[in-house]
Structure 1
Amino acid sequence: MGLNEAPLLFNFEVESSENFTYIPMSVRFNLDRFGLRITLAQWQMLPLEDRKLLARFPVEEDTEIEPNFDHALFEMLRTHANVEPEWFTPEEAPAWRCTDSVPDGVALQAGLAGLATPSVARWAELDPFKRYVLAKLSRKPEANHDFVPAMREFGAAG
């Protein structure tokens, strides 16, 4: 499959990522998929072009089409920050993969924002990466400033 031609950013991320000062959702997805953790400080030590390159990796779960996100990240961090990412065991069945119920966190965030929780049918229709993004933005019990713009962009806001 190869790299995307441009970094994968949703419209709501363009402003909030502040030109890749913050880790975009596409990179977070691949970090979570590979069981890798980096700090914001480590991310910010990488040159802007490296950050943009990491955001061009596909957001597919099929590791066969994966062009070495983990290897690229390790090499970039070693070269520019003299560190390695932390390893963790990825969740086997994260809530965003489930299409027969809306995760509790998403329902909570919708409630905090005064939005209707997406129906199970609407949740199931969402692209898996969009379900991942909404679940990721919903992992804390306080309102997330990107949740409402993401819900609107994905057509999930009632």
Structure 2
Amino acid sequence: MGLHDKPLLFDFEVISSENLTFMPMSVRFNLDRFGLRISLAQWQMLPLEDRALLARFPVEEDDDSAIEPNFDHALFEMMRTHANVEPDWFSPDGAPAWRNTEIVPEGVLNQSSIASLIAPTPEKWAQLDPFKRYVLTKLSRKPEGNHDFIPAMKEFGLAP
């Protein structure tokens, strides 16, 4: 699987990422897959061209697919070159909530309630592609409302 032609951004991210000032969901997805963590300040130390390159890596996730092997190498090289640090490591969750197509994660139910939206049914949840399930789960991991949750729900066809 090769790099995409342009950074992978949802419509709701175009405004909120402010020209990649903030980490797009595609980068967060790949960081989580590799078990890597960088701070926002470290992300912002990278030149725009490097941030755009990291946002072009694939996010397709099937149980049988291999993780794109060059994301971690590119990130490490960029961080060493521009921030003189390496990303922190953590153990990725082997069974993240977004992969479960039978149960809508509690955080998504909570965010829906906070936003006065009807939560996705398990059937609608299962129909979402894995990356969209990841995004909604990531946006709903904290107990307070997330400003991108409603726009994401609308973009994914789950809210009017």
Task: Name the TM-score class by shorter chain.
Answer: over 0.9
Match of residue 25 from structure 2: 25
Q: 1:149 aligns to what?
A: 151
Quote the residue 1:12 is aligned against.
12
Give the Cα separation in 2 of the matches to 1:97 and 1:57: 20
- Check the 8 A contact 1:36/1:87 in 2, yes or no: yes
**TM-score (normalizing by structure 2):** 0.96
1:114 counterpart (107, 113, 116): 116
Shift of 1:67: 4.4
Aligned-CA RMSD value? 0.9
Q: What residue identity is the alignment partner of 1:157?
A: A
Q: Which runs of 5+ in 2 are unaligned?
A: none
Q: Does 1:58 align with 2:58?
A: yes
Match of 1:136 in 2: 138
> Residues 7-64 of structure 1, C-alpha deviation per residue, up to 9 Å, x if partnerless?
0000000000010000000000000000000000000000000000000000023325
Q: Distance in 1 between matches of 2:43 and 2:6?
A: 19
List aligned pairs for 1:16-95, cutoff 5 A: 16-61=16-61, 62-63=65-66, 66-95=68-97
Deviations 1:92-138 (A, max 9, x none): 10000000010000000000000001010000000000000000000
Is the partner of 2:159 in helix, strand or coil?
coil
Mapped partners of 1:69, 1:50: distance in 2: 11
1: distance between equivalents of 2:100 and 2:139? 16
Structure 1 residue identity aligned to 2:70: N
Cα pair 1:11 1:153 within 8 Å, conserved: yes
TM-score, length basis structure 1: 0.97
Runs of at least 4 residues off by over 2 Å: 60-64
Q: Give the match's secondary structure for 1:83.
A: coil
Supply the AA of the counterpart residue of 1:116.
I
> Which residue of the partner structure matches residue 103 of structure 1?
105
> For 2:20, what is the secondary structure of its paired residue?
coil
